[in-house]
Amino acid sequence: MALMSRMTLALAAFCGMAWGQTTLTTIQDTLFKADGTLYNGTLVINWVTFDLATGGTVVQQSTSVSVVNGNLLVQLTPSAGAQPPANVYTVNYESDGLQQFTETWIVPVSSVPLTVAEVRVGTTPSSGGSSDSGSGSSGPIAESSVTNLVADLGQRPVKGVGFTTDGVAIIDDNGLIETAVGSPGDCVLVDGSTGPCGQPQPTFVDAETPGGVINGTNTTFTLANLPSGSSLMLFRNGIYMQAGFDYTLTGSSIQFVSAEPPQLLDTLVASYRVGSLGSSVIGGGSGGSVVTTSAQVLCSAAGASTQATTFVNLGGCNVPAAAMQPGDRIQIQFNFTHTGTAGGFEAQVTWGTTTVLDRVGGTGDSAFTGQANAAITSTGAQLSVQSWGSVLSFLPGIVTSPVQSGLRIALNGQVRNAADTLTLSNFTVVRFPAN
């Protein structure tokens, strides 16, 4: 009985060994280079998991086979007829430290050794050239079988009905590629519209003396240029004149009210813009875009007070470099009040590292005011300044400043005697951007 049990176990072990092995097909060949010399290198063979027709599963793996003096010998499980269909071996030929090319094999069942030519179904150069498929090629790979490929392709803009060649491409509201329509010399704007290039740029006129006789009776004066919009700032003896109340402007002609003609020894000073800083149509026709350049208030506030006998900052604001483009204009307006009679005061306006204004007021000056206009250029800024007080006379001036990458406008003050008080009652900084 014991002898029979041992025989049964031995038979079961033999059958288990037989079931645990698959039939292998031998690939044996001699490989050459194109120059006739024998190939030396390595074949790296990869495969994915497939099920055998005779039962059993071959799991995904790879193996390396050395080829010396052209001699190739490898045994592989037949993949022909396996599931999923058309399972292939991917064979990478490596030599001289490089992967030279890749080919695919389908290995049939064979009791005799097969050559490479009998199992090869496709070859791909290492540079990614087109497949050189013979009979039995696996064919092209479907886009849908590549992970995320269809979704990624769907993110690309595609041609619209207005797409043509030899033009500037734009993206329309639907995300389609269209071609900009316009004349060959037009410029394309960011919204896709087109129009003539080189819109006119404004210029600034500072401290101009209007033409006309100041004799106490003449009320008509003329500017050298036509002011843009309501940009005219007219001063009589340093006092700002209000349009529509003190005078009217028709074209470049100033008409004072008949009851207040400029008197003998009066001074008239005009500053204004010349050019199209108002609304302008870009792009031509009804389809153009309307662009309006508006003034920007950089800061406007009541300042601080001081009884210090050394300079104290009473107000101001920072001006970024982006707000100082060539053609821009920045206007500073300020009002100081002085209380007490023990001593005078000193007020100062600085443009970054440049002192624009520094004036000393007396005990009788209860108020001090003025303004500065900075014309931004490519080399810095030219600042025209004017100031006056309740006793202090009107004083104009022009100061130049080098290029500064962003700066602080500061209004400083001090008193001569600590019993007095100097207050920056109000200040405003306005930017007029270039068009």
DSSP string, 138-172: --PPPGGGSTTHHHHHHTS--B-TT--SSS-EEE-
Please, which pLDDT band fits residue 388 given cuts at 50, 70 and 90? very high
What pLDDT band is residue 21 in, cutting at 50, 70 and 90? low
Residue 199's pLDDT is what?
A: 58
The residue-averaged pLDDT of 318-339 equals: 87
Residues 91 and 270: their CA atoms lie apart, in Å, by 87
Yes or no: is domain 296-432 CATH 3.30.2320? no
Whether this model's pTM surpasses 0.75: no
- DSSP assignment of 249-262 equals EETTEEEE-TTSPP
pLDDT for the residue numbered 101? 84
Higher pLDDT, 101 or 202: 101
pLDDT confidence band for 85 (50 / 70 / 90): low
Confidence of residue 125 (pLDDT cuts 50, 70, 90): low
Question: So what's the pLDDT on residue 259?
Answer: 86
Q: Which structure tokens are listed for 74?
A: 């490898």
For residues 293 and 422, the answer to whether their CB atoms sit within 8 Å is no
> Which of helix, strand or coil describes residue 270?
strand
Which residues does residue 388 pair with via DSSP β-bridges, in sequence order? 369
Burial 189-227 (b: 16+ CB within 10 A, else e): beebbbbeeeeeebebbbeeebebebeeeeeebebeeeb
Q: Does 317 have pLDDT greater than 80?
A: yes
pLDDT tier for residue 196 given thresholds of 50, 70 and 90:
confident
CA dist 9 → 1, 3, 4, 5, 162 (Å)? 13, 10, 9, 6, 82
- Cα(175)–Cα(197) distance, rounded to whole angstroms? 26
Fold assignment, 22-143: Immunoglobulin-like (2.60.40)
Q: Report the share of the chain in percent with pLDDT over 90.
A: 43
Q: Percent of the chain at pLDDT above 70? A: 83
Mean pLDDT of 376-404: 93
Mean pLDDT of the chain: 81
Work out the average pLDDT over 361-385. 93
Q: Which residue has the higher pLDDT, 66 or 158?
A: 66
Question: What residue ranges do the domains of the chain occupy?
Answer: 22-143, 203-274, 296-432
pLDDT for 227 equals: 87
**Identity at 361, one-letter amino acid code:** G
Pairing type for strands 367-377 and 268-274 reads unpaired
Q: Check residue 172 and give its pLDDT.
A: 76
Determine contact, residues 370/334, Cβ cutoff 8 Å. yes
Taking the CB of residue 88, how many other CB atoms lie within 10 A of it? 23
pLDDT-derived band of residue 5, with 50, 70 and 90 as boundaries? very low
Contact 224, 239 (CB under 8 A): no
